[in-house]
Structures are given as C-alpha cells and as structure tokens.
Amino acid sequence: MSSREKEQTIALSAVFQAAELVSILAKTGQVDNASLQPMLDSILMVNAASTEDVYGGQWDCQSNLALGRKISRQALGKERSSVNPDTLRYALSLIHLEHKLSKAPNMLPLIGQKIAQIEQKKAHYDSVLHENMLASISGMYQDTLSKLSFRIQVHGDSRFLQQPQVANQVRAILMSGIRAAMLWRQLGGKRWHLIFKRKALLNALESRS
C-alpha cells in the first residue's frame, strides 16, 4: 500500500461524505453539522500543505471524515448493497462533473475568484455554516458548475428541496464534493480505480481506521 493510496482514500471519503450528506438532506431536510462543517471548510482550503490539512489536519481528519470513510468501506467492500443507491449515484456524478470541470479551463479562474470573495466574507461571520455563507457557496455553484453540460439531479422530498435554505445547503455540499473529487483526480484517482483497485483502496481505508 502506497502513501498515495492513503491520500486517495481521504479524498474518496470526502466524495462519499458529500454524497451521503446530500442524500440525507434531500430526504430529511437536515444534516449533522459535525459532518457538514469540515466539508464546507474544505472549499476554502486552497493552499493546504497536505491532503489531511484540507479536512482539519492530521488529528481531526479521521473524525471529520468518519461518515465518508464508513460509506467508502461499504461501497468498495462486501456491503455495497447496504449503501443508499442515491449516495452511490451522487458520488459517481461528482467525479464525472469534476472531470467536466477540468475540461473547462475558463471556469476554473472564475471559481478561484469566487472562493477568494467568499473567504473575505467569512471574516464577518462566526462560521461557514452561517446562512449567508451557505448562500454564497450555493451561488458559486449556480454560477459555475450548473452551467456545464452535465448536471447532478438530486432526488428527495420536495417539501424540503423547495426550501431556499435547504437548496442552498444541497448546492454548497455538492460544491464541497467537487472539491473532494478534484483532490481525488489530482492524487491520481480515476473512476475505474473504484472497480479495479478496490482491494488496495479498502486496505488503505482499513489502515486509517
């Protein structure tokens, strides 16, 4: 097992955490902030020294991505059938959408500009979970990723999805999932690895437990 595979599992866990949070939020209208906050914080971590630092550093990364690690182990292992089908679809869709983004060079600088603006705005609020911060991240998603040819279709309870605050949370989480998928690609991760490198990724996940 390589250190690169260990790093890949951090990014992959974050992809699955975003996917699971969207699935839960779309059906219930609420999510656990302890799992949500590190995902949203990661969007603003553009110059992290390490992969672990994107998600809270060496000591907090594991706990911050505990939900995603659990889903990753299930999805790659023998418990795949226990994973919500929507979660699997969102995870694969995030990886596919990020691939589309990587082929749209004009969009990447725009995202960078918007992240810088949101980073400045964060100084005025106590947390990235503030509704104004969520609205800003959601707006970034709408102004950029929503304009690509591929769109992620979110299914859930319309009573919740029609609420502006929930819709903003969904888009903000999807943005964090794109951040994770970008990290996964930058670390050499590819979609086919989820099939043909499952054992190696599982071993790396287990070593981090």
> In 3D, which of 196, 201, 206, 171 has the Cα closest to residue 18?
171
**Bigger pLDDT: 113 vs 78:** 113
**pLDDT over threshold 60, residue 1:** no
Res 208: pLDDT: 61
- What pTM was computed for the model? 0.94
pLDDT at residue 2 is higher than 70:
no
Look at residues 145, 172, 194 and name the one whose alpha carbon lies nearest to residue 38.
172
- Which of 2 and 142 is assigned the larger pLDDT? 142
Under the banding of pLDDT at 50, 70 and 90, the label for residue 209 is low
**Considering the chain, what percentage of its residues have pLDDT values greater than 70?**
98
Q: Can you tell me the distance from the alpha carbon of 70 to that of 142, in angstroms, rounded to the nearest whole number?
A: 30
pLDDT at 195 over 80: no
pLDDT beyond 60 at 196: yes
Residues 6+ positions from 89 with CB-CB distance below 8 Å: 19
